[in-house]
Structure formats: structure tokens, C-alpha cells
Amino acid sequence: MTIGGVARFWREIPQRYNLIGKQCGSCGRIYFPPRESCPYCRRKSIGKMRDIKLSGKGEIVTYTVIHVAPHNFEGQVPYPIAIVQLEEGPRITAQIVDCKIEDVKIGMKVEYTFRRIQEDGYTGAIYYGYKFKPCQQKQNHQ
Amino acid sequence: MRDVAIIGIGITKFGELWDKSFRQLIAEAGSKAIIDAGIEGKEIDAIYVGSMSAGRFIGQEHVGALVADSSGFAHLHIPAIRVESACASGGLALRQGYLSVASGMNDIVVVGGIEKMSDVGGTAATETLATAADQEWEAFFGATFPGIYAMIATKHMHDYGTTREQLAQVAVKNHANGALNPNAQFRREISLDTVIKAPPVAQPLGLLDCSPVSDGAASLILCPAEKAKKYTDKPVKIIGSGQASDTLALHARDSICTFNSTVYAARMAYKQAKKTPKDIDVAEVHDCFTIAEIIAIEDLGFVEKGEGGKAIDNNITTLDGSLPVNTSGGLKAKGHPVGATGVAQVVEIVTQLRGEAEKRQVKDATIGLAHNVGGCGASCIVHILEAM
């Protein structure tokens, strides 16, 4: 990451904290991260992209385990990172937490969790955002 | 549109060249190509140079003019254009140079590609390469560049049964080829076991599944095909040039195991060349990671989707195979000075089509293909060449 870019992080807070995407008012497709226009409707979608909060539930499409990390992540290795397909359609890249590394699998059901992502070694700023954890099993109350 | 030929090639040794500067490397590659073509400096109409990130690697921007200057052409005031498309910067520099000659605007064009990566440490080099990925939505969350390709490998193994050994075979093959290339960074063979037991980088990829950090430069001289025989007995014609783009982030694509930028760039190049994958005798493909060669040969149509892992066992992509791939050693063993790579690939294809590849010569090669990828498939440039 470019060092010292605090505004660069601040302006993405709604997306990274609360999974706010965009829905095209023309065709209904949902995008995350947000887009200024819909790639399918293009000019018809301008001014019609609406904020939409995503459920945060999804499934692992593919994954890896990072052993050699960028500077700001060195203290976290090894860590799993995955492409997650959200229920609403968009796919995002995020770390998988709260499970054993060897339990991470393609097809695994996961859900959003708010976590610390990295610490900027230059400004000291701590950046937060989304990671994903295995879906909680439904409790069987009798 | 005019036909365009390559009449000169030049390349430096690739490697960690502590004693060579950016300026020395590009001047060496350029002067070799100019001497090879037998042209004079005053004949040059334009210079196109591919460089991914001189700003981060050596703290120097404005490298178009710098390249003209350090090559000794400042007093001739030749137009110089720096081209950037991440790891495909070199391939795109060739395409821009090609288009300018094909259009009739320029006659003699020098195309260069360069990267001087070893002046920064390994971590800084890796982070600079990661700027080819989506900084806000991939890298921010801890995805590395090898990590993104590793996610392709995981999916390819899951969907098509590709094995860890098949990934490793790509590195073994390319090191064997690199051992025959005097300009390669790694001129030694490695065993399958060594690749598999190398330290992990991003599972399933280990250190020896990854191309290295390299310094190096390469250069080509272009001219209208009708004038090519005036300069050389062995001109090579550019019969197809294709380029395509895709989303910066891998996650934004429907297909993880297909680079549609490769599919579309190849389609454009094959159509222009009036050739099919079956017509290709030798290819240089973008093997920045072992999995990248496997999906490249699928997306280029050399094998069916999902069959790329078997291409070495099936004796297709080996040096004595039906379609030898990465005879130079590829990015894996020849080295990957990112801006130079796309140009260096074409230097290898021209060398093969001239019949000058010595121990790694592909017999009777007349048509070759070069495939250069930017980022994780957000850009792709494909060129098809034919001996004249």
C-alpha cells in the first residue's frame, strides 16, 4: 500500500466496514466493490446506482494460504485468503479466520466478520475491514 | 495497414546484475539490435520502451526520454514513448511500435523493454509487482501477487484434477530449457523433488513455482516488410497482433481458471494471421508462475481447457514435443525483468525462426507465438510471427 494515505482508507470505510455495495437501478445487478455505473447498462445506469447492504453470507470459490506476506501482514503468516461468492452474487477477496487452516475448503460456507486488517507501519494507523469465518452452525434448542 | 517485419534483435543477460544500471542495460540491448539490423541512428523514426515501474524500482520516471538520451539519441530528438501495462509493458511496447509502422506513420522503429528490479529489496520488489493487482480490493486484504495465482492453481486442481507434480513439471521443463540459453538467469536443471520441497510462498505454490526478481533489457527493430530484405537476409514478419483487457481483480471474473484477455487477444491475433493454434511451431508464454503456463496453453488453444497440466507428460510443450513452449527457459528460468519480458519473448521467437537457437533450436520452426500477460490477466498481448 502507498504509505501515509489516510484519506484513501477513510473514503472506503462504508464498504470495508459494512459491506455497502451498489445495485443498478436499471437491471438490478449488484456490485461490490461499488461501481459508478453498471457495466451492462452503462449510460442507462448513470445516476441510478443505489447503495445496498450485503448480507455477508457466502461460499469459498477458491483459496490459498499465504506464507510470504507483504510488510504490513508479516506478523500474520501463515494465513488463508479466499475469493468468496456472496449470496447476492458479487465475489470478494478476504482472509478466512476462526478456523484451522486445513479446514478451509472450496465450497465452505462463510460469513462476514469485522476485524483488524493491517497496521500501517509508517503512520501507525490501524486499518479495519471484513474477514470471513465459517458460518455458525444452527443451535438445536429443545 | 502495411506488413511489418522485425529486422534486428538485441538482449542483455538476465539476472541480478548488481554492476549494471538501468541506463547501461537499455543501451546495451538497443545497440545490439541496431547493429544486428544494420541501421543508422538517424534512420530511427521513434522509440517505444516498455517499463512497468521504474518509478518504484529505481526512483526514476520519464524513462522514454531517458532511454533515448542514454542510447545517445538526445541530439537527434527522436520521439520516445514509454509504455506501461504491468508485466505486459514489453509486449504492449511492441504492439504500439508495430501499429505505428503498420499505419505508415513511421518506417524504422526501435522497441525496447527493461526493468531494473534488484536495486530495491525483495519485499519492495514483491510489493511493487503487487501493484499490478487491485490495490484497494485485493492487496489491502493481504492478497499477494503469488497468492492470487495460487488461488487459480487451487481452483484448477479442484476442477480438473491438476496435480502438484504437474505444476512442478513446468518449472523443471523451463529450467532444463534455461540451461541451454546463455542469457538465462538460471542456467541449471532442477529436479521435481526440489520444486515440490521448496519453501512455500502461497499454497500450493512454492519458491520454485515463481519467476525470480531480475534485471535485464531486450530490443527489436521494426520496419515495413517490403523494405526488410534491404537490411537482413532473415527478416521475421509480424503476421498477427492482438491485445485485450479484463477486470483488474481476479475475483470480479466469472471464470477463475480462464484468462479471457488471453482468449480475446489470441483470437484477434489468429484472425489477423489467418492461422490456428495447430499452425504454431514454437511459443513463448507468460509463465510468471507454473500455473500461469498451464492456463496459458489452454487459453491459447494449444490444449483443451483442463488438459494443461498433462502437456508435459504428453510430450506437447517439451523441447522435443509437438509444440515446444518457453524454449528460452521462460520467465521462470530465463528471468522476469517485467518490462523487458514481452520484448525478450519475441527475441526468442525471432531467434528460433532464424534457426539460430543452437542447442534449444526447434527443428523447422517457421511460425511462432509470443504471449505476454499483465497483472493477473487484466491485460494480454499476443503476437504471431512468421519467417519471411
What are the residue boundaries of the structural domains of chain A, listed by start? 56-134
- pLDDT one-digit tens code per residue, B97-108: 999 999 999 999
Chain B 10-69, residues with CB within 8 Å of chain A CB atoms: none
Instruction: Report all structural domains of chain B as residue ranges with CATH numbers, in order of start.
Output: 4-121+214-236 (3.40.47.10), 126-210+238-387 (3.40.47.10)
Among the ranges given (B25-34, B122-131, B274-283, B287-296), the one the predictor scored with the smallest mean pLDDT: B122-131
Which of B138, B144, B153 is nearest residue A68 as measured by Cβ atoms?
Answer: B144
Task: Determine contact: B125 vs chain A, CB below 8 A.
Answer: no
Task: Determine contact: A111 vs chain B, CB below 8 A.
Answer: no
Containing A20, the helix (H) or strand (E) segment is: strand A20-24
CB–CB contact A68 B250 (8 Å): no
CB–CB contact A106 B154 (8 Å): yes
Rounded distance, CA B152 to CA A136, Å? 28
pLDDT at B122: 85
> Could you tell me which residues come within 8 angstroms of residue B32 by beta carbon, excluding any fewer than 6 positions away?
B9, B10, B11, B12, B219
- A56-134 is classed in which CATH architecture? Beta Barrel (2.40)
Smallest Cα–Cα separation from B29: which of B81, B89, B70? B70
Rounded distance, CA B253 to CA B230, Å? 48
* pLDDT tier, A78 (very low <50, low <70, confident <90, very high otherwise): very high
Task: Determine contact: A33 vs chain B, CB below 8 A.
Answer: yes
ipTM (interface pTM): 0.96
The conformation of residue B52, written as its DSSP 8-state character, comes to S
Closest Cα in chain B to A71: B123
Inter-residue long-range contacts of A26-32, CB under 8 Å, 24+ positions, other chains counted: A29/A89, A30/A54, A30/A88, A30/A89, A30/A90, A31/A90, A32/A86, A32/A88, A32/A90, A32/A92
Task: Find cell 519467476 and name the residue.
Answer: B211
pLDDT at A4: 57
- pLDDT one-digit tens code per residue, B130-140: 999 999 999 99
Task: Determine contact: A21 vs chain B, CB below 8 A.
Answer: no
* pLDDT tier, A16 (very low <50, low <70, confident <90, very high otherwise): very high
Mean of pLDDT values over B117-123: 92
- pLDDT one-digit tens code per residue, B311-339: 999 999 999 999 999 999 999 999 999 99
User: pLDDT exceeding 90 applies to what percent of chain A?
Assistant: 77
Mean of pLDDT values over A97-106: 97
What backbone torsions phi and psi does residue A13 show, to the nearest 5 degrees?
Answer: -55, -45
Residue A142 has pLDDT above 50, yes or no: no
